[in-house]
């Protein structure tokens, strides 16, 4: 099993990366949450990985955090959820958003993800209830308000790192709507 890759980022073609590890180029599929936090081409990169061996292929999936990889592994254990679907789920929502949807049993949030129908969403909620968040036990699994999560995703989509986005989120007033929150965060980032 390949558990971690450390090398130079050669190519970025969502959702696939090409990582050079001492002369060997690994093709790695990553969720968009990891993709948004990648360094520039030619920079050093470390990814936690999960190798899927099928009869016709060997596929490598990469993750920026332990929580993402643990959630991916939890998702692929669910009947009817393959690696591609698990990647789509992690691309469509953060681990904390997924944990929140499971806690609140909100199938509607899951059905917004391409490829997730009502039955699959209900099965995910049933299978993950009591597992997601409990197994992760990290700060990223702490529930956030929908507005805060949307503001954070917007900052990441604009190219800010998770660290920059987290610092900017501290400047957003509690209870701010998404639009005002993004403005406040961008204002704090422009001062830095």
Same domain, 83 and 125: yes
User: What pLDDT score does 133 carry?
Assistant: 53
User: What pLDDT score does 192 carry?
Assistant: 63
Domain boundaries, position 24 = 4-63
User: What pLDDT score does 69 carry?
Assistant: 94
- Own/partner contacts of 72-78, CB < 8 Å, gap of 24 or more, are 72/31, 74/128, 74/131, 74/132, 74/135, 75/124, 75/128, 76/52, 77/127, 78/123, 78/124, 78/127, 78/128
User: What pLDDT score does 83 carry?
Assistant: 93
Same domain, 54 and 72: no
- How many folded domains does the chain comprise? 3
User: What pLDDT score does 142 carry?
Assistant: 37
Q: What is the pTM of this model?
A: 0.67
pLDDT along the chain (192 residues), means of 10: 92 94 96 92 95 93 94 92 93 90 88 90 88 48 57 81 81 82 87 70
* Residue bearing tokens 């959630």: 71
User: What pLDDT score does 180 carry?
Assistant: 87
Same domain, 54 and 37: yes
């Amino acid at each position: 099993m390949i558990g971690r890759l450390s090398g130079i980022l050669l190519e970025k073609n969502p959702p696939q990366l090409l990582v050079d590890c001492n002369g060997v180029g690994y093709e790695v599929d990553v969720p968009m949450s990891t993709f948004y936090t990648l360094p520039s081409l030619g920079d050093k990169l470390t990814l936690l990985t999960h190798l899927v061996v099928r009869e016709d292929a060997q596929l490598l999936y990469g993750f920026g955090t332990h929580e993402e990889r643990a959630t991916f592994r939890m998702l692929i254990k669910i009947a009817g959820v393959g690696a591609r679907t698990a990647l789509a789920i992690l691309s469509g929502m953060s681990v904390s958003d997924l944990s929140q949807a499971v806690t609140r049993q909100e199938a509607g949030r899951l059905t917004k993800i391409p490829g997730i129908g009502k039955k699959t969403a209900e099965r995910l909620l049933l299978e993950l209830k009591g597992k997601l968040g409990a197994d992760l036990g990290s700060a990223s699994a702490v529930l956030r308000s929908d507005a805060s999560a949307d503001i954070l995703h917007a900052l990441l989509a604009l190219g800010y790192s998770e660290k920059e986005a987290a610092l900017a989120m501290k400047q957003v007033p509690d209870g701010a709507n998404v639009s005002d929150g993004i403005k406040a965060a961008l204002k704090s980032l422009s001062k830095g």
